[in-house]
Chains A and B, each alone.
Chain A
Amino acid sequence: MKLLVVDDDPDALVLARFALERRPGCSVVTASDAAGAVEAMRRERPDAVLLDFYLGEHDGLDVLARLAAEDTGSGEEDRPEVIFLTGKGEEVKDCLLAAGARGVIAKPFDPATLAQTVADLLGAKIDPGRE
């Protein structure tokens, strides 16, 4: 499973990569802004996108709309699912789900359970790997 993690905080990207790539079969690509996210989605064709809600001057809904407008080249069913990372939690969860997000993960997240949480949201099987 290839995941694109988008966050303007480099420490969040380091942590997400550590938490996700310790699971066999999980690879992570990263972007730090909206333009980078769009470019990485075109180039890397991830299975899912973990998207920080606050991304510099763009909020997550803007970026979600930009990603949704991208032509994946292989049809709607292959469009990557988007999971939001946000410190706002329940305040914005319903809004993000209504906008098309697959799920919402609260920040700060637990790196020990992040990969499983992502897999659960995607309905994907994931190797437990190293604990």
Chain B
Amino acid sequence: MNELRDYYRGRIRERIAELEPLSAELAAGRAGDGERSAVRQVAHQLKGTGASYGFPAVSESAAVVDGAADDDLAGALADLLAVLHAELAEET
């Protein structure tokens, strides 16, 4: 299982790199349907795999983003990014 956790930690880094620019767009009020859809797609995938790889907090936080209304999306994504960063920090 350790090899799976190591693999997923690498994927968390990649997901952060995908999500941070989208988070900035959302926070600045510049995000459109495409950006919101991209955020929800990544969150949906993280929801479906995080706990399986041993990161239940990732699944829980991603589920909030996946189900968030447009007005709540920026806040939920900021929370998810905090969880992703915390998971990486915990392992180092």
Contact = CB atoms under 8 A, between A and B. Distances in A.
A12 interface: yes
Interface residues of A, number: 16
A9 interface: yes
A108 B4 contact: no
A111 B11 CA distance: 18
Report the interface size class on chain B. 10 to 19
Contacts of A111: 1, 4, 52
A18 B52 CA distance: 11
Interface stretch (B16-24, B27-35, B43-51, B83-91): B43-51
Contacts of A14: 4, 7
Given A15-B52, A108-B59, A110-B52, A87 B7 contact: no
A110 B4 CA distance: 13
A87 B49 CA distance: 10
B4 A15 contact: yes
A9 B45 contact: yes
B29 to A, nearest CB: 28
Contacts of B7: 14
* Residue picked from B1, B8, B11, B48, most chain A C-beta under 10 Å: B48
Given A15-B53, A108-B59, A9 B4 contact: no
Given A108-B50, A108-B52, A11 B8 contact: yes
15 contacts: A8-B45, A9-B48, A11-B45, A14-B7, A15-B52, A54-B44, A87-B44, A107-B47, A107-B48, A107-B49, A108-B47, A108-B50, A110-B52, A111-B4, A111-B52
Interface of B: 1, 4, 7-8, 11, 44-45, 47-53, 59, 63
Interface of A: 8-9, 11-12, 14-15, 18, 52, 54, 85, 87, 107-111
